[in-house]
Amino acid sequence: MTGIETVLTEIDAVGRDLDRRTFLKAVAAAFVMPSGPLAEDDERFFRRVTATLVPEADLRRTGIDPVGNLRHLLQRTRADHRRRISTLISAVRRVSFFYGGEQVVLRGRTSRFVLMQKASRALASLCLLCVWGDPRSFALVDLPGGRT
Amino acid sequence: MMRPLTESHRRRIYGARELSGTADEVLGRSYDVCVIGSGPGGAVAAGTLASAGLDVVLIERGAFRPPKDFTFQALDMATRLGHVELTRGYRTALLQGNVLGGGSIIYGAVAMRPPAAVWNEWQAATGLDDMSEAAFEPHYAEVGAALSVTRQSTALENRPNAIVREMAHALGRPDGLHVVHRYTAGCAGVGLCNFGCAMDRKGTMLNSFLPMGLESGHLTVLTECEAEALEGERRSGVYHASGVRIACRVAETGDVVRRSVVKARAIVAAAGAFFTSALLLRTRDLPHRDRIGAKVYLQPHAQVFALFDESVTQRGEIVDERYIPFNGVPAIYNFLGFLPDRQFWWLASTLFPANLAAFVSHLPQADHAAIMRRYHYTTSVTITTRDNPERSRVTMDRGRPALDFRESRRDAEILRDSLCCAARGFLDVGARRVFLPLLRPPQIAGARDVDAFARRPLGYEEVLLYSDHTSGGTPMGRDSRHGVTNGDGRLFGTANVYVADSSLFPSSCGANPSWTIMALSHRMASRLAAG
């Protein structure tokens, strides 16, 4: 098995782990972990984070809506995945002020917490999946056949 | 020879909602054998036992997804078919199938066997005379025929595979290049086996052993059912299982709609190395509990990407608003040149844009966009390393399993060596840049960069590793000093509890494990059926 795992394993596994580890208790004891559907705050955060990874002009040009794709993904997936993905987004949003808000996906990688490093990468992977998993993203890709 | 799953077969496949209502005729009776898990271990056991006339019930945690549900689209399939755990310390992700057919639905369909050195190691470790490739040959042949194991044609070589071939030569080990066997006689060349083959050209449990068992009329399949623990008792020091406690959970909602006990005269655990150990550890009164799950092997994988000046992949096609890449057969070659002495091998990876996008997500926005524009100019190999961890034990934490894991220093060295070799290989055949699977990867654009990377220490926690080759936990052995299960896969100290998956491996198998899992399972089931 190859390929898909590098996009998805961290999303799933980190989301699962955020449920049970003490990391968030230490960093943000006041927060209560959500378990319901994605909140509007989380969707806005997701959109802002995606904008740090993918140029706004590219999204406009292709008409890709990362949040719409996220909803599609959540709708299609199993209940346990849905819960973990929602947990991941919400949890990272709640600690993101330590890492420059939506810059968390880049700055979180330098965190001394390994879970934060992995969580920030997982969120980045999720954002990018919701852009580059959309067939319209091929409009952004050079045609094969030429040379650099 | 692949077998289609017909409508009459499907009538014997039950989901959680059906089991919540009027299914007492299914849950209310006793079976000869209850098999837990429907992947290459469980489905082969169930199909073989049912074909021999035993009354078999198969329990699968995931749902039934027919191939028409597969779309080849990352957004649709990304989180539908698999289940992931993370080792303690976040070092490695453990992936397995969570769908009827288990790992066979999402595997790359590469059929490999362990090298001779591993068989020798296994024979010494188990003390079993019949732990040899020759002894397993009829079982390899039987399952191979059922899954259309076919040597791939080099005429199908696409550019990513040509690069693997050129790397073997550039690294001075051309003899290490092997044409792979795959579970398909007619691959359509979409190149996304891991999303589930919508073309149904890949040999899986859904088109081989499950229809075989269902055709016999002796197999009942329960999906969306989690096996929680075995039920049974000790009599005269020997554990006798009487059934399996299950929870029926609707996949879409996560709701448990029924709890029950499936009664059977024998139990076959084939839930994958991690969950088989967990299931047995959750079972009270089982003997040798301290040795179950004591040593689990990961054979972790790491991807390495490279950017070339010339395009590597073709433009795909939009079919029904879906992008189908048609990258060609994903793996023609297995590069085994470094397996005997340096314990790693690689093959060409499955390629799709979201994979690359996530892989280079460490790059600033403009650089990331520039690399993504050159998607068709990138390729990747997936490395697998043969490991022997310092510590790797399945433990239970309030009923939930976890893998307490720490790689050995040697394993970390093997991993770093493998990354360096792949990077050098790519650069030698013309790559402009190489991307390593690290949280904060170094820039690799020349030999000096690789040399610098080779000098730095490396731990698994820094690397983006995953494992779908997890094995061990209930290894086979001649007696309870050599293993946890005997040569037939029966758990020592039990009368009727068997294991039929990669948990039986005494150590990392040094190959993609599915064929060997199926051969082991087929032998176990054949012997059990023969009484």
Are B59 and B244 contacting, i.e. CB atoms less than 8 angstroms apart?
yes
Query: CA B303, CA B437: separation in Å to the nearest integer?
Result: 6
CA of A3 to nearest chain B CA: how many angstroms apart?
A: 5
User: Which residues in chain A are contacts of B369 at CB distance < 8 A?
Assistant: 54-55, 58, 140
Inform me whether the pLDDT recorded for A4 exceeds 70. Answer: no
Contact check, Cβ <8 Å, B440/A110:
yes
Inform me whether the pLDDT recorded for A23 exceeds 60. Answer: no
pLDDT for res B2? 80
Model confidence over B94-105: pLDDT tens digits? 788 889 999 999
Residue A10 pLDDT class (50, 70, 90 cuts): low
Task: Please check whether residue B78 touches A, CB under 8 A.
Answer: yes
**H or E element that contains B401:** strand B400-406
Q: How far is CA B511 from CA B42, B301, B335, B516, in A?
A: 20, 12, 11, 9
Angle at B133 between CA B531 and CA B293, to 5 degrees: 70
Report B:262-291 residues touching A (Cβ under 8 A): none
- DSSP code per residue over B141-152: HHHHHHTTEEEP
CA of B477 to nearest chain A CA: how many angstroms apart?
A: 29
Inform me whether the pLDDT recorded for A3 exceeds 90. Answer: no
Query: CA A136, CA B246: separation in Å to the nearest integer?
Result: 43
**Three-state secondary structure along B33-69?**
EEEECCCHHHHHHHHHHHHCCCCEEEECCCECCCHHH
The 8-class DSSP code of residue B13 comes to: E
Place of tokens 């799953």: B5
**Total number of domains constituting chain A:** 1
- pLDDT mean over A28-39: 52
Residues 6+ apart with CB under 8 A from B307: B371, B374, B377, B378, B431, B432, B433, B434, B435
**Three-state secondary structure along A45-83?**
HHHHHHHHHCCHHHHHHHCCCHHHHHHHHHHHCCHHHHH
Contact check, Cβ <8 Å, A53/B311:
no
Query: CA B183, CA B100: separation in Å to the nearest integer?
Result: 18
Contact check, Cβ <8 Å, A16/B74:
no
Residue A106 resides in a domain:
yes
Inform me whether the pLDDT recorded for A122 exceeds 70. Answer: yes
Q: For chain A, how many helices (H) and strands (E)?
A: 8, 0
CA of B482 to nearest chain A CA: how many angstroms apart?
A: 31
Contact check, Cβ <8 Å, B90/A135:
no
- The pTM of the full predicted model, rounded to 2 decimals, is 0.93
Q: Which two tokens stand for residue B114?
A: 């362990």
Residue A145 resides in a domain:
no
User: Which residues in chain A are contacts of B69 at CB distance < 8 A?
Assistant: none
- pLDDT mean over A96-125: 85
Looking at the partner chain, which of B90, B103, B353 has a beta carbon nearest the beta carbon of A118?
B90
Amino acid at B395: T
Are A131 and A124 contacting, i.e. CB atoms less than 8 angstroms apart?
no
**Three-state secondary structure along B88-103?**
CCCCCEEEEECECCCH
Residue A73 pLDDT class (50, 70, 90 cuts): confident
Q: How many angstroms from the chain centroid is the CA of residue B531?
A: 29
C-alpha Rg value of chain B to the nearest Å: 23
In order along its 531 residues, chain B shows pLDDT tens digits of 688 899 999 999 999 998 887 668 899 899 999 999 999 999 999 999 999 999 999 999 999 998 888 888 888 776 666 666 666 666 777 788 889 999 999 898 999 999 999 999 999 999 999 999 999 999 999 999 999 999 999 998 999 999 999 999 999 999 999 999 999 988 888 888 888 888 889 999 999 999 999 999 999 999 999 999 999 999 999 999 999 999 999 988 889 999 999 999 999 999 999 999 999 999 989 998 999 999 999 999 999 999 999 999 988 888 877 788 888 888 899 999 999 999 999 999 888 898 899 889 889 999 999 999 999 999 999 999 999 999 999 998 877 888 999 999 999 999 999 999 999 999 999 999 999 999 889 999 999 999 999 999 998 888 888 888 999 999 999 999 999 999 999 999 999 999 999 999 999 999 999 999 999 999 999 999 998
Instruction: Point out which residues pair with B298 in neighbouring strands.
Output: none
Residue A147 resides in a domain:
no
pLDDT for res A75? 85
Looking at the partner chain, which of A3, A134, A147 has a beta carbon nearest the beta carbon of B75?
A134
Are B374 and A145 contacting, i.e. CB atoms less than 8 angstroms apart?
no
Q: Which residues of B131-159 are buried (b: 16+ CB within 10 A; e: fewer)?
A: bebebbeebbebbbebbbbbebeeeebbb
Contact check, Cβ <8 Å, A5/B468:
yes
Query: CA B436, CA A26: separation in Å to the nearest integer?
Result: 32
Contact check, Cβ <8 Å, A143/B107:
no
pLDDT for res B225? 96
**Chain A contact probe: residue of B61, B76, B81, B84 with most A CBs at under 10 A:** B84
Report B:429-458 residues touching A (Cβ under 8 A): 432, 437, 439-440
The 8-class DSSP code of residue B472 comes to: E
User: Which residues in chain A are contacts of B358 at CB distance < 8 A?
Assistant: 6-7, 121, 124-125, 128-129
**H or E element that contains B434:** strand B433-435
Residue A34 resides in a domain:
yes
Contact check, Cβ <8 Å, A141/B107:
no
Are B483 and B506 contacting, i.e. CB atoms less than 8 angstroms apart?
yes
> For residue B402, what is the nearest residue in chain A, using CA coordinates?
A17
Are B220 and B57 contacting, i.e. CB atoms less than 8 angstroms apart?
yes
pLDDT for res A19? 52
Inform me whether the pLDDT recorded for A28 exceeds 50. Answer: no
Q: Which domain, by its residues, includes A105?
A: 3-134
CA of A30 to nearest chain B CA: how many angstroms apart?
A: 24
- pLDDT mean over A129-142: 92
Going by DSSP bridges, is the β-strand pair B301-307/B378-385 parallel, antiparallel, or unpaired? antiparallel
Residue A144 resides in a domain:
no
Residue A139 resides in a domain:
no
B8 compared with A82, residue with greater pLDDT? B8
User: Which residues in chain A are contacts of B376 at CB distance < 8 A?
Assistant: 141-144
The 8-class DSSP code of residue B442 comes to: P
Q: How far is CA B395 from CA B341, B374, B403, B482, B483, in A?
A: 33, 45, 6, 21, 19
User: Which residues in chain A are contacts of B95 at CB distance < 8 A?
Assistant: 1, 5, 9
